[in-house]
Each structure stands twice: as C-alpha cells, then as structure tokens.
Amino acid sequence: MSTSSLQYPSGQTRDRLAERRRITAVLGPTNTGKTHLAIERMMGHETGMIGLPLRLLAREVYDRVVKVKGARNVALITGEEKILPASARYFICTVEAMPLEREVDFLAVDEIQLAADRERGHTFTDRLLRARGHSETMMLGSETARGLIQKLLPDTHFINRPRFSELSWTGSKKITRLPRRSAVVAFSADQVYAIAELIRRQRGGAAVVMGALSPRTRNAQVALYQSGEVDFLVATDAIGMGLNMDVDHVAFASTQKFDGHQHRPLQVSELAQIAGRAGRYMNDGTFGITGDATALSDETISRIENHQFEPERLFQWRNPHLEFSSVAALMKSLEAVPARPGLARAQVGDDLEALTRMVRDPDVSACLRSASAVRRLWEVAQVPDFRKTLASEHAGLLTRLFLFLMDPSVEGAGRIPDDWLNGQMKSLDRTEGDIDILAARLAHIRTWTYVANRADWLHNPAHWQERTRAIEDRLSDALHERLTQRFIDRR
C-alpha cells in the first residue's frame, strides 16, 4: 500500500516511534557504492525519501531516479528548488529540506558522519534520531560515525562496505607533471583559478568545480572533463561529497582549509574523503600532493590507504521541540542541552545570529505579539546567507522581509511586494562581467530562489520560481562560458 499521503505524528510521539523502528547503518570509505545501494533499495519500495548533503547531489540522484520511475513519480526538494508532482512517491532532498511530515516506506540519509559538523551537524543528528521509513531506514556514511550511532541507537544493524579498488600514495609531483585524468584540489577560489590558469598554459586546460557553482554550471564543467575535452579538473573539496567523475589521481595543492572560523589542517578523514574520489568501482586510484602543499606524514598516508580514522566523539544537537509563545521562550528552547551522552548542543548558527540581531529592531519587536509571529520570525531567520555578507547586512535584509510579511498596510498584507522583489531581480539579471562578478550574482539569486520557494511569502510563487530559475540558468551558462574561455586553450 502506498503511504505517501500518510503523515507522521508530531513531537515526542514521533520520537518514540522512531526509536522503535530499527535502522541499518551502511558504513565504509568513499567509492564503496553506499549511495547506489540506498537508491536501489528505495526504488524497490512503493514510496521513499533520501536526504543528501548537497543540492548538486540531490539533482544528480533526482535525474537518475526519474529515468527509472518517471518524472510524475519523483519529487526534488531543496531549499532553492522544488519539483513536486501531485503523484510523487519518491522524494529526493537535501537533508535540511526533507519533508518529514510525509511517511514513506523507505528513508535514507547520506553522509551521516556530518552529524559531527559544527555548522550543519544538528540537522543530520535530528534525522538520525527522528527520521524513519515505515518499512526500512538506512543511514549511510563513514566508519567514523559507528561508535556514536551504536551509543545512541544500540539496536542499529551495521553493514560494512569495503572499497572496490585500491587507493595508494604516489608522493609529490609538479602540477605540470601530473598524470592525465587528475583532479587538483585547492581550498580557495583564488587558488583554484591560479592552478587552472597554469594548467591551461602548460597542459591545454582544465574544468573547474566549486561548491559555489550552480548545478547547471557544475554539470557543464564536469561534462568537459568526462567527455575528454580536458584531462584535468581543478576543484575545491566539493568533489569529496559523492560527485561521480572518472578521476584516476587526486593531487592536493593544499592540506589546509578555512572552515568558517579558522584556517586549520584537514583531518585525516577529510583528506581520505577527497582522495577517495580517485578510482571508480574496480579501477585503482592514486593520491599525492602538488605545489606548495605540506607533505603528509607516513602515518597519515597509511591511515588513508587503509581507511583507519579517529571516531567522531560528539554529534551536534539542537532541540527539535521549539517553543514559540514568545521570543524569550524560543531562545530558551534553542539553548536547551541534550540529555543523552554523545551529543553536544550546537553552537550559535547563522539562523540564531540573525534572530538575535533582528529582535533588536523595535519595528520587529512590535510585531511579536503572537506565537504565529514568533514562528514566522524564526522561519525568516533561517534564510541562508548564500551571499556570505556581513552578519549585520544579512540580518538587515531578513528584517526587511519579515516586516513585509507582517505589515498589514503594504499591498497584499503578509506577502513580499511584487514591485520590490522585481527590483531585486532586475539588478541580478545581467550576464556581463567576469567570473567573480557572475559568481556573486549567482550567490545573490540563490537567496531569492530560496525565498521564491516559500509559497506563503509571495502573491504568485510559481511566477517567481520560474523567474529566479531562468535568471540562475542565464547566469550559470554565462559563468560556464567565462570559465571555459579563461581556463581552456581552444587553439
């Protein structure tokens, strides 16, 4: 029987049901077919849902499931994109966007070790503890998560997935001496561009993959590499999360990254996640360093080759039962500490930072006379800062949105005015400019794409979804063209 129309109970009842439904944890290194296994299992059920760590991956899996099940049966749900047929039975989502009010036969979450991540971890932890399929639940990820999963959910059934191919160290090579079908990994846009420029001059050109690219730009760049038009890929650690490419060798141009708080060395498990992109299925892969990257120790190399990593010590947690009777009550519920061992209260995130700044505005405070207003404030505070602006600037934009939604005097009370939103769109719907300018416009349009997918914030959400998607597509095509012009020698 199809269960797609059924709904979960809410609150603690859902938590108790989740604890009674045993999960299967499929753990192993990169390139062990974990995601493939989950997709196949999901398609064997009448209904299913899978949560993925990146919008890029969600789109990739969506396209794959549509080929088997047909577009009318498959939904894509991310913060910035919603394709939701009325007859959908399979829901492909980013982890944050999973519609947990829907009950499905099968449910899976990919890269569950991200529950330890300081920024996003609390959402993965929530899915681990509370999201279940009616018949089958799978958590996919690294062996580093095993100990904490076992501590939190002792009845978990574990499946270990060995890597299908060998991964071996080949030392240091100059960028100009790297073998063909190599991916060079760096951790800043400037470094990615400099390396791609060098490869263009010396080896003919490279495709570029960064997390900031839209799925459309990323797919166009990867197609250049996969088709053999170029033999090199220059990427950030975005390639570490399951993007399927035929890479034989991974070369680290740096072994340090800025994690949003500080520059730090990559953990061994992070190095392995990226290095593991080398080799596909039964084809062996190699990894090494290039440029000015710090040499890896013999111990680190051995641990990467043999998939031996330190276990995660804590998963991040945020109280799922928030109180909206007042801002003070909301803040207090967000500050709750976990009662279970192995969990740590998540640090202040962008959403809580934005909330704290917004309530200082007297006009905002004057609106907060009901639980529904406080709930709406929290919804607005969760609009992501894709633009990576100053916290005060982001909070200022969100304050404007909230006041529009709460002001009965504006045209169409409770909605963002069309003329104001149109002004925001017009400033972004331009394809001139260099790579950095186009990338900045893409980041800006992502904010409005997210807003357009909040149906109760707009007069005509379908129109704005179409408009933002069209602008993103034009910017994506222009960015792909600029990247290709700059980093591929077509002579």
Sign of the four-CA dihedral 6, 415, 318, 391: positive
DSSP conformation class of 485: H
Rounded Cα–Cα distance for residues 447 and 67 (Å): 30
Answer whether 207's CB lies under 8 Å from 222's CB.
Answer: yes
**In 227-370, alpha helices (H):** 268-275, 298-306, 327-334, 350-358, 362-367
**In 204-251, alpha helices (H):** 215-226
What tokens were used for 126?
A: 């929530």
Rounded Cα–Cα distance for residues 216 and 206 (Å): 17
The predicted structure's pLDDT at residue 1: 34
pTM given for the model: 0.90
Domains of the chain: 11-160 (3.40.50.300), 167-292 (3.40.50.300), 347-478 (no CATH)
DSSP conformation class of 266: P
Rounded Cα–Cα distance for residues 180 and 205 (Å): 11
The predicted structure's pLDDT at residue 11: 55
The predicted structure's pLDDT at residue 3: 35
The predicted structure's pLDDT at residue 450: 95
Sign of the four-CA dihedral 103, 107, 112, 117: negative
For residue 393, give the H/E element and its range. helix 391-406
The predicted structure's pLDDT at residue 156: 98
- Backbone phi, then psi, for 101, in 5-degree steps? -70, -15
Residues in a beta bridge with 134: none
How many other C-beta atoms lie within 10 A of the C-beta of residue 128? 25
How would you write the pLDDT of the chain (491 residues) with one tens digit per residue? 333 333 444 555 555 555 557 899 999 988 788 999 999 999 999 999 999 998 889 999 999 999 999 999 999 999 999 999 999 999 999 999 999 999 999 999 999 999 999 999 999 999 999 999 999 999 999 999 999 999 999 999 999 998 878 999 999 999 999 999 999 999 999 999 999 999 999 999 999 998 888 889 999 999 999 999 999 999 998 787 766 788 999 999 999 998 777 889 999 999 998 999 898 778 899 999 999 999 999 999 999 999 889 999 999 999 999 999 999 999 999 999 999 999 999 988 899 999 999 999 999 999 999 999 999 999 999 999 998 888 899 999 999 999 999 986 655 568 999 999 999 999 999 999 999 999 999 999 999 999 999 999 999 999 999 999 999 999 999 999 999 999 998 76
SS3 340: coil
Rounded Cα–Cα distance for residues 163 and 110 (Å): 17
